Chains A and B, each alone.
Chain A
Amino acid sequence: MTATLNIGLARASLETKLFFRQRDAVIFTFSFPIILLVLFGSIFEGDLEGTGITVAQLYSAGLIGAGVMGVAFQNLAIGIAIDRDDGTLKRLAGTPMPRAAYFVGKLVSSLVLAVIEVALLLAVAVLLFDLELPTDPARWATLAWVLTLGLAGAALLGIAVSSLPRNAKSAAAVVSMPYVLLQFISGVYIPFTELPSWLNDVAAIFPLKWMCQGLRSVFLGDAGAALELTGSYELPKVALVLGLWLVGGLVLCLATFRWTNRGEG
């Protein structure tokens, strides 16, 4: 168990190193949500129905959620599909490395990336769009558990989805579609009040909507609760759904994970 954890952490440091040495991936992964935040924040100015909350602040909360999902879900799923394609997984499977160490490495390295991503987005939101950082420690605690649960759930989902693409070339297309769709229906870009109720129901199945809802509770505060569909941030429900995804994602991973490309195993 300790061996698995130690090797897992060594893999995490290796994975993180590998990520930062791929300049284009670094720039694209981190800048995408930041550019969107600057763009949306600049286009849509003004307050939301007398709550004192600006549209830019609303987008900040949503894009932090989307950014975390980008790192955990998209980046991870594409990364694993590439590992499967270029021989990384096959090579590892031929060594005595505990198999779980590979996943520990992926999860911990995406946690590192997510923390950096959130810090960057928060800095932009605070500097450009007057987002107020919470002063109440309870809200920071909420931020911590929402991000941890959301990240872990999204990462496990990413690991499961990584088995869908036939090879690394198709991975970006296969993985990006559900990610982009989820952002549109989960209240990241378009206010959920403008979506038909059935789409809101679909979004409620997936973790992104709940992660964003939890993040709004942290950054928009009590005044923003009135904007929610139910008039409340429903934090217990957020915890429940994200927790369920964690378990479901784990089961899905164990059932679908392949150490080789389809047709080779």
Chain B
Amino acid sequence: MTTAIHVRGLTKRYGEVQAVGGLDLDIHTGEVFAILGPNGAGKSTTVEILEGYRKRDGGEVSVLGVDPGHATSAWRARVGIVLQTANDAAELTVRETVRHFARYYPHSKDPDEVIAKVGLSEKAGARIRQLSGGQRRRVDVALGIVGRPELVFLDEPTTGFDPEARRQFWDLIRSLAAEGTTIVLTTHYLDEAEALADRVAVIAKGRIVAEGTPHTLGGRATASARVTWADGYAETDTPTALVRTLAEKYDGEIPGLQIVRPSLEDVYLDLIGGTE
């Protein structure tokens, strides 16, 4: 397994505020990696350092084998960035914009194919101003991938989407991942991380407080389960044994049976709460 992003001891300070305080991170080539964390946890700062937008104070950072603190245009051609808030070029059409950005890259994809991929073929001739919020983010994605990047950063891509638009957007991300593109995603939505990410890291107070697959994060898979049935409930580390006992007791179906492990949200809130 090769490493797309390698970070050791990353630090960044704004005046009195230590935004990032010794952060370690490894993201493998081809995986979808989600970075979770509350506002002000150092999430955006970390990602902007990885994207080459910000200088770091200390630590070791390598993105696709290059230090983003000394980004070259050859490196930028390998990295796609989908920004969180961009309202530019409102009076250009989708096709004009994507075609123009394709010129910046040495091995760009066919602009019309990219537009089709993000599902905007019907809107290719429309001005960006006339698009809905969700369609606009699709243009952002198109601009982020038109250069055929090996690595794509997506910063809170579905904020403000309705549920249907989010599902469609997730399919788009999945199809990118299926092509082997490494994807680094920051998000506030835990269901989004759960649906898309191979691995998740939680940042709080400028450090990684937990890292793992969405299913095992923070000991989620092995945490005690809450078993509820018609006549009672129990917290247990061995829910299967309890269910077996109950099944014998009721001689068949257990009325109102429910077994609940902590949700990703429970684990997440616990993790970031623990750092307060």
Contact = CB atoms under 8 A, between A and B. Distances in A.
B201 interface: no
A17 interface: yes
A7 B106 CA distance: 12
Q: How large is the interface on A (under 10, 10 to 19, 20 to 34, 35 or more residues)?
A: 20 to 34
Q: Interface centre among A10, A22, A96, by most B CB within 10 Å?
A: A96
B91 interface: yes
B104 A91 contact: no
Contacts of B76: 94-96
B51 interface: yes
Contacts of B54: 265
Nearest to A83: B88
Interface string A1-40: 0000011001100100110011000000000000000000
B105 interface: yes
A88 B88 contact: yes
B100 A14 contact: yes
A94 B103 contact: no
A96 B86 contact: no
A96 to B, nearest CB: 4
Contacts of B53: 90, 93-94, 260
Interface in A194-237: none
B83 interface: yes
A94 B83 contact: yes
B101 interface: yes
A7 B99 CA distance: 12
Contacts of B105: 95-96
Contacts of B88: 83, 86-88, 91
Interface in A168-197: none
Contacts of B143: 91
Contacts of A18: 89, 91-92
Q: Interface centre among B88, B89, B100, B143, by most A CB within 10 Å?
A: B88
A243 interface: no
Interface string A71-106: 000000000000100111011011111100000000
A95 B100 contact: no
Interface in A219-265: 260, 265
Contacts of A21: 91-92, 127
Nearest to A88: B88
Contacts of A22: 91
Nearest to B78: A96
B275 interface: no
Interface residues of B, number: 28
Nearest to B106: A96
A94 B104 contact: no
A198 B189 CA distance: 64
Interface string B165-186: 0000000000000000000000
B83 A95 contact: no
Contacts of B104: 7, 95-97
A144 B92 CA distance: 32
Nearest to A20: B91
B73 interface: yes
A90 B83 contact: yes
Nearest to A98: B73
Contacts of A83: 88
B101 A87 contact: no
A93 B54 CA distance: 11
A96 B83 contact: no
A96 B77 contact: yes
Contact of B73 (A10, A14, A88, A96): A96
Interface in A109-130: none
B83 A87 contact: yes
Given A86-B86, A91-B86, A96 B103 contact: no
Contacts of B92: 14, 17-18, 21
A217 to B, nearest CB: 39
A197 B81 CA distance: 55
Which 3 A/B pairs are nearest by Cβ-Cβ distance? A87-B86, A88-B88, A96-B73
Given A14-B96, A96-B106, 16 more contacts: A6-B103, A7-B103, A7-B104, A14-B92, A17-B91, A83-B88, A90-B53, A90-B83, A90-B86, A93-B53, A94-B83, A95-B76, A95-B101, A95-B105, A96-B105, A97-B73
25 contacts: A7-B104, A10-B103, A14-B92, A14-B96, A14-B100, A21-B91, A21-B92, A86-B86, A86-B87, A86-B88, A87-B85, A88-B88, A90-B83, A90-B86, A91-B86, A94-B52, A94-B53, A94-B79, A95-B104, A95-B105, A96-B77, A96-B147, A97-B104, A98-B73, A265-B54
